[in-house]
Amino acid sequence: MPDELSMVPGTCAPRSAPVKARNKRLNMTAPNALIATTVGYSPGGQSTIGQPRHYSESRMFGAPKLFASANVSVHLRRKRPLVLKLDGGPPALLDFDLGSISGPPSLGPPARAREMGIFNPSLAPAPPGLCPRCAYVAALRVDPLHQCHDASPLLKIDPDMPKVAAANAWFKGTAIAILDERLNLLRWTWLLNAPQFQVHPQPSPSRWFVPVGASDRFPPPWAKAVYDVRVISMDGHLFVSYVCRRCDFSIAELQLTAKATSDGGLHELRAWQSHRYGASLADAPWAQGRNQALFVGTRAPGLRAELLVQPWLSKIASFGAPDFEPMKVVCGKPKDRLPGRQAAGFKVCGATPAGTSLDLQHVANVRTGGVNALQQNFGTLALVGNNSQAELSRAAVGGFRLSTTSNLVRVSRNDCEVHLGVGHVHRREGELNLQAMPRARRPRRRARGTASSLLNGTIFASLISPSPSPTFPFQWGFQYTHFFYALEARAPFRVVATSGEFCLEAAQQPGDCESIQFVSGISLAQEAPVAAAGVDGPIRADGSGTLLLSYGVNDCEAKVGRIVLARVLDMLEPLSDTESCLTSPGARPRS
């Protein structure tokens, strides 16, 4: 009988292939006495589910001091960053009990049950008919390598932790949550992104798989994990993009099924990917990486809407214009075989029990080859526009890189339509990021007693001091700032305006922000507009309405904040080398 490691293909790489961590801290975890086995527990073991975290000073940005002394010549639009106050009160916390999550014993200590972070949420409108109260679908990253506190596995070592671990020993997964219009949780489940490798046709104790019939909360599969999923709705049909180890950039159709409850909610929720559309490194090297922004747009009036992608600020590509058709499926009975042999059945039905009749939607005009006739076929990524702009270059922001962050949303004011997005830049690197860099790119170490040995240049003058700098606990990038930007409504979809940089005000410390904030989603709220900060009553002028900003905090929490659309549009300033219908009203943004 084959062993566990040989039964299932790995996450884009063989599971049995050990990989050396970039730093031995990748294989660290806190002692069992310090960390609980489920999300939402403090290092002392007290339940914190549904309660916002309170972060230590070392995990805060220190924005008031740093922004006041910032060198504006290395910030976007040559402006000091600001602390942006959200509207409508404190942000909503997306948090729920995951239960105990542990992996196959053969993977060793990294796969033990441990505390999980829930972060980097992405929101889209729920598909019609899912349930009467269903307003939003949220995709959330679930990961034990969080940075919530000093008992994180990145900072504490188990005595028996090996120096070398399998590539997929540490869990990474995606939860799909359904929210009502007030962002209350109705139900959640795990995304089965590759059900042909994740669903076992027979009951099995193996932690690689889930059984047929799994729904709502269940122990997630360890096979074929994906994370940092972004979800977008197109004509009520859901697509997702995602990240996985050694994967080319891809999108996939997301299928959701559930049964309605008497109170307008739902249960027996299932979520799975049914069809994947990839862009290989050989065919589209410019599309690779992560945080690609999806949006729906038309190249010119009268043409069909296409699913477009912005992998970098300067580049726009298209998967084409999909034709959606209903598809009635009766799920068959799987044969007694290992996963991977039932690809067609599991890809269509996920973990749905045999004999169930499903009414699904699918893309009927899938392209089988070539990149021509984008308006007639769908599925192959083709470049639409490539427009580099000096004001968005590395040179304009001190040598750092401006990146896309979330999917875009189409908005309008005074008959001017644009696609609105959020980008980001981070200016500090944690230990693991530094060790992954080529030696030539690592920040130059400065003499002891003059500045931090890990300081990235002189971006924030207040960081340069004769006293030793504090120890930062983050292992990846930190000190994130974001910016809003607008694409023109039609091809070639150039960036026509941006705001300056900002971070979102932290509820625990007004005037400051958490050091790691990642705005992974922007969407239009499906509720009445909220009152803007400092304004009595809702804003209902042209350009009114409310945006939802969904974001991760310190690789630990998932939050959703509200901001009045008019405030965001007032922050945008046209780029000097573009012409656009969007002009800045000159209003000073409320900080």
Report pLDDT digits (tens) over 30-75: 322 222 334 455 555 455 788 999 999 999 999 999 999 999 999 9
For 53, the token pair is 């975290």
DSSP per residue over 383-399, as a string? EEEE---GGGSGGGGTT
Give the separation between CA 474 and CA 455, rounded to whole angstroms: 14
CA 116 to CA 145: how far, in whole Å? 7
Higher pLDDT, 236 or 26: 236
Q: What is the pLDDT of residue 467?
A: 30
Q: Is the pLDDT of residue 252 over 60?
A: yes
Q: What's the mean pLDDT in 12-21?
A: 33
Nearest to 108 by CA among 199, 45, 171: 171
pLDDT of residue 6: 27
pLDDT on residue 168: 87
Average pLDDT of span 383-394:
93
Q: How confident is the model at residue 437 (pLDDT cuts 50, 70, 90)?
A: low
Please tell me the distance from the alpha carbon of residue 503 to that of residue 86, in angstroms, as a whole number: 10
Q: What is the pLDDT of residues 157-202, one digit of tens each?
A: 788 988 888 878 999 999 999 999 999 999 999 999 999 899 988 7
Q: Which two tokens stand for residue 139?
A: 């995709």
In the predicted model, is pLDDT for residue 28 greater than 60?
no
The span from the CA of 14 to the CA of 260, in Å, is: 40
More confident residue, 443 or 178: 178
Indicate if the pLDDT at residue 2 is higher than 50. Answer: no
Whole-number pLDDT of residue 446: 37
Average model confidence (pLDDT) across the chain: 82
The answer, yes or no, to whether residue 20 has pLDDT greater than 60, is no
Q: Work out whether the CA dihedral 570, 572, 575, 579 comes out positive or negative.
A: negative
**Cis before 492 (ω within 30):** yes
Confidence label for 25 from pLDDT (cuts 50, 70 and 90): very low
The reported pLDDT for the residue numbered 156 is 87
462 pLDDT band, cuts 50/70/90, is very low
Q: Give dist(CA 18, CA 28) in Å, integer.
A: 16
Higher pLDDT, 533 or 316: 316
Least confident of 13-17, 126-130, 150-154, 265-269: 13-17
Contact at 8 Å (CB) between 277 and 266? no
pLDDT at position 456 is 32
Query: For residue 397, what pLDDT is reported?
Result: 94
Q: What is the pTM of this model?
A: 0.85
pLDDT tens profile 297-348: 999 999 999 999 999 999 999 999 999 999 999 988 765 444 544 556 677 8
- In the chain, what percentage of residues exceed pLDDT 90? 63
| pLDDT tier at 280, thresholds 50, 70, 90 | confident
- Specify the pLDDT at position 439: 58
Whether 188 and 324 have beta carbons less than 8 Å apart is answered as: no
Q: What is the pLDDT of residue 228?
A: 95
Coil, strand or helix: which one is 191? Answer: strand
Return the pLDDT at 292: 94
The 10s digit of each residue's pLDDT in 355-365 is 999 999 999 99
